[in-house]
Amino acid sequence: MLALRDIISPELILPDSNATSKKRVLEQVAELCANPSDMDTFFHLLIEREKLGSTAVGEGVAIPHCRVPTLHKSVGCFIKLKQGIDFDAPDNEPVNWVFGLCVPIEATTEHNNLLAEIVTQLSQAKIRKQLENAQSAEEIYQILVAS
């Protein structure tokens, strides 16, 4: 079974995003997760998924995700926002942390397992506090893959 350490690396972490809108955050997820030639496709798929309902889960966390027909291996990214943004969260709180997830279209079980692991990690107040204090991509990476 894939774990977070299998889909993310420090290079896929943006520790100080200036994004001020959900659209810009989704663009950044696409920029981090896709090859340059696939960025538009990833962005479109993320937008389409978001139209089904917000991927914000509350407590300042959003997990935008999509299935990509041309993708062969799941990839994740993490964005720490300098300022919280409106992401239509169920608790109406601004989002500060975004874990983007893109998976191959046929990876249903893998997709669900990774989403569950991300939610489990980011639902812990202790983890969110560590992320709040983290300054670098490497530091954030170590927090995300620690357990």
In which element (H, E) is residue 109 found?
helix 108-122
Give the single-character DSSP code of 118: H
CA–CA gap between residue 64 and residue 25 (Å, rounded): 9
Does the annotation mark 111 as catalytic? Answer: no
CA–CA gap between residue 93 and residue 81 (Å, rounded): 14
Task: Show the CA angle centred on residue 59, arms to residues 53 and 62, nearest 5°.
Answer: 40
Q: Which of 44, 65, 72, 111 is catalytic?
A: 65
- Residues with active-site annotation: 65
